[in-house]
A and B are shown apart, each in its own frame.
Chain A
Amino acid sequence: MDFSLFAELAINGALSGLMYSLVALGIVLIYKSSSVPNLAQGAMTMLGAYVVLAIANGIGLPMWTAIPLAMGTMFFVGMGIERVALRRLAGRPIIMILMMTLGLDIFIRATTMAIWGGSSRPMSIGISDEPLFLGPLLLNRSYVVGAVVAAALFAIFFFFFRTRRGIVLRAISDDYIASWSIGISVERGVAFSWAMSSVLATTAGVLWGSVQGVNQGLALLLLKGLTVAVLGGLDSIGGAILAGLLLGLLEGVASGYLDPLVGGGSRDLVVAATLILTILIRPHGLFGRHDIERI
Chain B
Amino acid sequence: MLFRQSGIFHTSYADARALFPLPADRWMIGLLLAFALTAPLTMSSLVLSTHLLPWLVWTAAVLGLNLILGWAGQFHFGYAAIMGIGAYTAVHGARNGIPWEIAVVLGGVMAAVIGIVFAFAALRVKGLYLALSTLALQFVMDWVISHVPAISGGSQATLQAPAMRLLGQAVTSETGLYYVALGWCLLVTVFMLNLRRSALGRALVAVREKDFAAAVIGVHSLYYKLVAFATSSFIGGVSGAILIFTFYRAATPEQFAVNVSIELLAMVIVGGLGSIIGSYFGAAFILLMPGLMNSLIAWLAQLAGASLGVETLAHIPHAVYGALIIVFLLVEPMGLGKMYNNLRNYLLVWPFGYARK
In the complex formed, the residue of B with least CB distance to A293 is B212
How far, in whole Å, are A109 and B259 apart by their CA atoms in the complex?
A: 13
Q: How far is the CB of A252 from chain B (nearest CB, A)?
A: 18
Q: How far is the CB of A193 from chain B (nearest CB, A)?
A: 17
Partner of B69, one of A95, A230, A279, A293: A95
Given the contacts A99-B329, A106-B325, A280-B121, A114 and B210 also touching, CB distance less than 8 Å: no
How far, in whole Å, are A85 and B323 apart by their CA atoms in the complex?
A: 10
Partner of B124, one of A262, A263, A268, A280: A280
Given the contacts A104-B322, A104-B326, A117 and B309 also touching, CB distance less than 8 Å: yes
A114 contacts B311, CB within 8 Å?
yes
Binds B, one of A1-9, A141-149, A270-278: A270-278
Residue B128 is within 8 A (CB to CB) of chain A in the complex: yes
Binds A, one of B83-91, B132-140, B159-167, B241-249: B132-140
B-facing residues in A60-106 (Cβ within 8 Å): 85, 88-89, 92, 94-96, 98-100, 102-106
B133 contacts A95, CB within 8 Å?
no
Residue B266 is within 8 A (CB to CB) of chain A in the complex: yes
A106 contacts B318, CB within 8 Å?
yes
A94 contacts B132, CB within 8 Å?
no
B333 contacts A92, CB within 8 Å?
yes
In the complex formed, the residue of A with least CB distance to B258 is A223
Residue A283 is within 8 A (CB to CB) of chain B in the complex: yes
CB-defined contacts of A185 to chain B, threshold 8 Å: none
Residue A37 is within 8 A (CB to CB) of chain B in the complex: yes
B262 contacts A100, CB within 8 Å?
no
A114 contacts B133, CB within 8 Å?
no
Residue B157 is within 8 A (CB to CB) of chain A in the complex: no
How far, in whole Å, are A106 and B147 apart by their CA atoms in the complex?
A: 27
Residue B321 is within 8 A (CB to CB) of chain A in the complex: yes
Q: How far is the CB of B285 from chain A (nearest CB, A)?
A: 14
In the complex formed, the residue of A with least CB distance to B215 is A295
The 8 A CB mask of A13-53 against B (1 = contact, 0 = none) is 00000000000000000000000010000000000000000
Given the contacts A279-B133, A283-B125, A85 and B326 also touching, CB distance less than 8 Å: yes
Given the contacts A95-B75, A279-B125, A279-B132, A107 and B322 also touching, CB distance less than 8 Å: yes
Interface residues on A, range: 35 or more
CB-defined contacts of A102 to chain B, threshold 8 Å: 262, 265-266, 325
Residue A226 is within 8 A (CB to CB) of chain B in the complex: yes
CB-defined contacts of A111 to chain B, threshold 8 Å: 315, 319, 322
How far, in whole Å, are A106 and B318 apart by their CA atoms in the complex?
A: 7
In the complex formed, the residue of A with least CB distance to B144 is A269
Residue A122 is within 8 A (CB to CB) of chain B in the complex: no
How far, in whole Å, are A100 and B132 apart by their CA atoms in the complex?
A: 15
Residue B143 is within 8 A (CB to CB) of chain A in the complex: yes
Residue A131 is within 8 A (CB to CB) of chain B in the complex: no
Q: How far is the CB of A64 from chain B (nearest CB, A)?
A: 30
Of B155, B212, B333, most buried by chain A (CB within 10 Å of CB) is B333
A117 contacts B311, CB within 8 Å?
yes
B132 contacts A110, CB within 8 Å?
no
Can you list 26 residue pairs at the A/B interface with Cβ under 8 Å?
A: A89-B330, A94-B127, A96-B269, A103-B325, A105-B322, A106-B322, A106-B325, A107-B319, A107-B322, A110-B317, A110-B319, A110-B322, A113-B311, A113-B318, A114-B311, A223-B139, A226-B132, A227-B136, A230-B132, A272-B136, A272-B140, A276-B136, A279-B124, A279-B129, A283-B124, A283-B125
Q: Which residues of B contact A (CB under 8 A)?
A: 69, 75, 120-121, 124-125, 127-129, 131-133, 136-137, 139-140, 143, 147, 155, 210, 212-213, 216, 262, 265-266, 269, 273, 309, 311-312, 315-319, 321-326, 329-330, 333
Task: List 3 A-B pairs, minimum CB-CB distance, nearest first.
Answer: A107-B322, A103-B325, A106-B322
Known: A110-B321, A273-B140. 15 other contacts (CB 8 A): A89-B330, A95-B75, A107-B323, A108-B322, A109-B322, A110-B315, A114-B319, A117-B311, A118-B311, A226-B132, A269-B143, A272-B139, A279-B129, A279-B132, A295-B216
